Structure 1
């Protein structure tokens, strides 16, 4: 999968809400693609989904939700619901990973997971994102987008098949929560650097 989001100046001009909405669309597209594939291609698409969800959810947890919690009306209530959903999603991803894409129950479980993720995205788009746009300056929203770009830049991508064993290959072969941990570290490093 190509890096999430656009490249160049167009990506640099997008604010955090635009980037996250783009990712919602990419996540939905991956769910549709996964449902129509089998074998190795299905596994590759599942790995792409894990990576994108790690980038997306971690950026939200570390940058977006803390801001929403303090800046939007009923922020604590809105954010607590989203955090609960995101925590559940991580556990389901780990369960799906443990099953493997060829498991007889994988497609059923993936369909249920897709429905819950789309519902989660709808809540964000309705309850959180519009309020962030209303309450925060355009400059602050663009600055927050830096966390999403930092997560995208450091999240592991699938290595080229000829690359053999590598740390990235091993990370992707491991549990999805390891991908979330790596992205979380990258965003924290980005925040500490004051970008």
Structure 2
């Protein structure tokens, strides 16, 4: 038997699912943290959501919009949700974790993030798997990674 193992790189759907899990964990971290850790966790969440959305806008939404009869509507709805989430995250960041309204605002934001991830996983991901060739899905993951690295270097 050959000792060589073929390494299969993740495709864009795998990458996005993994990022959704990271975002879910960061939401849990913010909710369950004390004051100082909550600030750090919120900053990490804002950064993770920003990079995730940046990659999605550039890499995932365009092919979804071209996929199937409802692709355009699904991509636009996911994009609109993402923009609202980023606005809400910015508002919470300005408000600060010590503000009396922060926790209630974060509960609403966290629910929106979880609903958005579920929406994408239910509606967008199947379109990508069905309409985009596997090789392109893998190239899209690489492109998203490159976009996120360039954003980190800014």
Q: TM-score, normalised by structure 1?
A: 0.72
70-79 or 22-31, larger mean C-alpha shift: 70-79
Q: Distance in 1 between matches of 2:16 and 2:51?
A: 10
Distance 1:71 1:152 in 2: 24
Q: Which residue of 1 aligns with 2:111?
A: 115
| Structure 1: runs of 5 or more not aligned | 1-8, 157-167, 169-181, 183-195
Write the deviation string for residues 5-52 of structure 1: whole angstroms up to 9, x where unpaired: xxxx97x70000000000111111110111011222111111110111
**Where do 4+ consecutive residues of structure 1 move more than 2 Å?**
151-156
Aligned residue for 1:71? 67
Distance 2:74 2:107 in 1: 25
Q: Given the alignment of the two structures, is residue 97 of structure 1 paired with residue 93 of structure 2, yes or no?
A: yes
Are the equivalent residues in 2 in contact too, given 1:39–1:102 (CA < 8 A)?
A: yes
Alignment partner, residue 15 of structure 1: 11
**In 1, distance between residues paired with 2:102 and 2:147?**
28
Describe the SS at the equivalent of 1:37.
coil
> Retained in 2: the 8 A contact 1:70–1:76?
yes
- Please tell me whether the aligned partners of residues 63 and 132 of structure 2 are also in contact (alpha carbons under 8 angstroms): no
Deviations 1:51-103 (A, max 9, x none): 11011111111111011101233111111111111111111011001111111
| Cα distance between partner residues in 1 of 2:143 and 2:105 | 31
Task: Say whether residues 1:82 and 2:41 are aligned partners.
Answer: no
Q: Secondary structure at the residue paired with 1:140?
A: helix
- Secondary structure, aligned partner of 1:13: coil
Instruction: Provide the C-alpha distance between the structure 2 equivalents of 1:103 and 1:148, rounded to a whole number of angstroms.
Output: 35
- 2:129 aligned residue (130, 133, 145): 133
